Chain A
Amino acid sequence: EVVLTQSPATLSLSPGERATLSCRASQDVSSYLGWYQQRPGQAPRLLIYDASNRATGIPARFSGSGSGTDFTLTISSLEPEDFAVYYCQQRINWPRTFGRGTRVEIK
């Protein structure tokens, strides 16, 4: 099973600041990694698939990079609605696995 380790666990930032979230895989997942946003009381929402592709309707301030075992989600300038929990997830093999999440909170 691929274990995904996200860091930091919590990121405290102000609106307008840049957020950089990390996800490290326990083995090579090529580019088969996605990022999801989850707001309280809502289902996860796909932001990025296959490391760097924005999903439909996702604003350009969200970008993903990386391959192999190290990945990054960047939010270039935080909007109020971006304060949420973010999960990475791999699809190279079964079982699909998620990281434990990074909470982006208002400083």
Chain B
Amino acid sequence: QVVESGGDLVQPGGSLRLSCAASGFPFNNHWMSWVRQAPGKGPEWVANIKKDGSEVNYLDSVRGRFTISRDNAKNSLFLQMNSLRADDTAVYYCVKGGGIGDVWGQGTTVTVSS
């Protein structure tokens, strides 16, 4: 399973770091991803990271503002979010897989508002 944390209410321009704790599978053998879902909208694949962290991909709208990383020794995934905007408001899901999301967490809510 995967469990997210770190969501909060933040002002526009602010920063936030999301964390994901993984268990029950060999974390270092799998790509991992962050997928978000804005209220009333479909999911949106934000970023993914290779097993060893050597390759990352970002949605155009977050590139340069968000950074995905992982700590395989601690079975953890992270998303550092800077320069947050109102349209980043969403539930953020930690997902096992780089293109097939076969395990999802319950999500953590990020609200960007003044």
List residues of chain A with CB under 8 Å of any chain B CB. 32, 34, 36, 43-46, 49-50, 55-56, 87, 89, 91, 94-101
Does B73 belong to the interface (CB within 8 Å)?
no
Does B80 belong to the interface (CB within 8 Å)?
no
Residue numbers in B under 8 Å from A56 (CB-CB): 102
Bound Cα distance from A89 to B100, whole angstroms: 9
User: Is the pair A98, B42 in contact by a Cβ cutoff of 8 Å?
Assistant: yes
Interface SS of chain B: loop
Apart from A91-B100, A95-B60, A98-B45, list 17 A-B contacts with CB within 8 A: A36-B43, A36-B101, A43-B93, A43-B104, A43-B105, A44-B43, A44-B104, A46-B100, A46-B101, A50-B100, A87-B43, A91-B98, A96-B33, A96-B45, A96-B48, A98-B44, A99-B42
Nearest B residue to A87, CB-CB: B42
Count, A-B residue pairs, CB within 8 A: 48
Does B99 belong to the interface (CB within 8 Å)?
yes
Q: When the two chains form the complex, which single residue of A46, A95, A98, A100 contacts B102, counting CB atoms closer than 8 Å?
A: A46
Residue numbers in A under 8 Å from B102 (CB-CB): 46, 49, 55-56
Nearest B residue to A45, CB-CB: B104
Q: How many residues of B contact A (CB 8 A)?
A: 19
Nearest A residue to B4, CB-CB: A43
Bound Cα distance from A97 to B44, whole angstroms: 7
Q: When the two chains form the complex, which single residue of B42, B45, B101 contacts A95, counting CB atoms closer than 8 Å?
A: B45
Bound Cα distance from A43 to B43, whole angstroms: 10
Residue numbers in B under 8 Å from A98 (CB-CB): 42-45
Bound Cα distance from A45 to B45, whole angstroms: 15
Q: When the two chains form the complex, which single residue of A44, A50, A97 contacts B101, counting CB atoms closer than 8 Å?
A: A44
Residue numbers in A under 8 Å from B104 (CB-CB): 43-45
